Amino acid sequence: MKAAVIVFPGSNCDRDVAVALHQASGTAPAMIWHGESALPDLDLVVLPGGFSYGDYLRVGAIAALSPIMAAVRAHAERGGAVFAVCNGFQMACEAGLLPGALMNNAAGKYVCRHVAMRVETADSPFTSGYASGQRVSIPVAHHDGNYFADDATLDRLEGEGLVAFRYDNDNPNGSRRDIAGILSANRRVLGMMPHPERAADPALGGMDGAALFTSMVETLS
C-alpha cells in the first residue's frame, strides 16, 4: 500500500498514525509537508490528529486552506482513499471532503479517555475487518469533537449507511445521534474523532483499533 501522512504545522499524531500503518503494512508511509502542492501516486492519504495552527481560529479551518489540500481534494475526487483522524476529521469537514462540522465538546472541556463505540458498517475499505455492530473501545482526545449536521444530512448519512462509528451509550462530546465517524458518499473518505492508532498495540491499552489498519492494508493495496 502506498500511503502518505500529511504533516501540518501543529500536527502531533502524525508519527503515531505512521507507526500504526507501518506495523500493519510493513512499509513506512511517506510524510508530506503541508506546503507541498502535489502528491505522488497514492493508495491512501492520512490527515492526522493534532492542533494544526494551534486550533486558534476554528479547528481545521486554516489547515483546510493549506497548499497540499487541493491535491488531497483531487485525490479524493479520483476515488482515492482518505483517512482523517481527529484534527484530520475537522479539516476534512472544513475542506468539504465530508459533510457537517465539529463543534466544542458539550461539556466545554478537553477529554482524553477510552470510549465504547459500535462499528456501524463493515462496508468500507477502513472497516471491512470489523463486523457490523461490533463493539470496540478506542480512545478519544479532543476539545472539539461534537459532530453537527442538519437533520436532512444526518438522515441521508444514516439512510446510505455512511455512519461508520457511533458512541455506544458513551458519548464524550455531545455529537448528534452519537456519531463518532462518518464516510463520504463514495465510502472512500473516513473521518472519525477517536484515535485507532492509539489502540493498535497491546501495551497501549487494547487492540480494538488494529483492524482498521489491517482493513486498509488489505483493501487498498
Partner 1 sequence: MSTDPNEIEITPEIIAEHGLTKGEYDRILGAMGRTPNRTELGIFSVMWSEHCSYKSSRVWLKTLPTEAPWVICGPGENAGIIDIGDGDAAIFKMESHNHPSFIEPYQGAATGVGGIMRDVFTMGARPVANMNALRFGSPDHHKTRQLVNGVVAGIGGYGNCMGVPTVGGEVNFDPAYNGNILVNAMCVGLARTDRIFYSAAAGIGNPVVYVGSRTGRDGIHGATMASAEFDDQSEEKRPTVQVGDPFTEKLLLEACLELMATDAIVAIQDMGAAGLTCSSVEMADKGGVGLELDLDKVPQRETGMSAYEIMLSESQERMLMVLDPAREDVARQIFAKWGVEFAVVGHLTDTGRFTLKQGGKIVGDIPVRPLVDDAPSYERPWERTEPRVQLAEADAPAPNDMGEALLQLIGGFDGCSRRWIWEQYDHMVMADTIAWPGGDAALVRVHGTRKALAISTDVTPRYCFADPVEGGRQAVAECWRNITAVGATPLAVTDCLNFGNPERPEIMGQLVGCIAGMGEACTALQFPVISGNVSLYNETNGVGILPTPAIGGVGLLKDADQRAGMAFTTEGETIVLLGETRGHLGQSLYLRDVLDRAEGPPPPVDLARERRTGDIVRGMIRSSLATACHDLADGGLAVGLAEMAIASGIGATIDLPQSEIAPHAFLFGEDQARYLVTTTQPEVILSMADASGVPATVLGQTGGTELTVNGSLTISVATLKDRHERTLPEHMAGS
Active site residues: 86, 195, 197
Element (H, E) at 87: helix 87-94
Q: Interface mask (CB under 8 A) for partner 1, residues 45-84, using x and -?
A: ----xxx-xxxx----------------------------
* Strands annotated E in the chain: 3-7, 30-33, 44-47, 81-85, 101-103, 111-119, 135-142, 146-148, 163-167, 179-183, 189-192
SS3 content of the chain, % helix, strand, coil (to 5): 30, 25, 45
Residue tagged 500493519 (cell numbers):
24
- Per-residue mark of binding to partner 1, 114-143 (x: CB under 8 A): -------------------------x-x-x
> Is 174 among the residues that bind partner 1 (CB under 8 A)?
no
Sign of CA dihedral 112, 173, 52, 194: positive
Among residue numbers 10 through 29, which ones bind partner 1 (CB under 8 A)?
10-13, 15-16, 19-20
SS3 220: helix
Element at 78 (helix H, strand E): none
Binders of partner 1 among residues 194 to 213 (CB under 8 A) are 195, 197-198, 201, 203-205
Distance in Å, CB of 8 to partner 1, minimum: 11
Closer Cβ to partner 1, 10 or 161, answer by number: 10
Q: Which of 2, 9, 101, 206 touches partner 1 by CB under 8 A?
A: 9
Which CB sits closer to partner 1, 68 or 163? 68
The residues that bridge with 10 in the sheet, in sequence order, are none
Residue with cell 488531497: 72
**Closer of 131 and 204 to partner 1 (Cβ):** 204
Q: Give me the residues that bind partner 1 (CB under 8 A), please.
A: 9-13, 15-16, 19-20, 33, 35, 49-51, 53-56, 109-113, 139, 141, 143, 195, 197-198, 201, 203-205
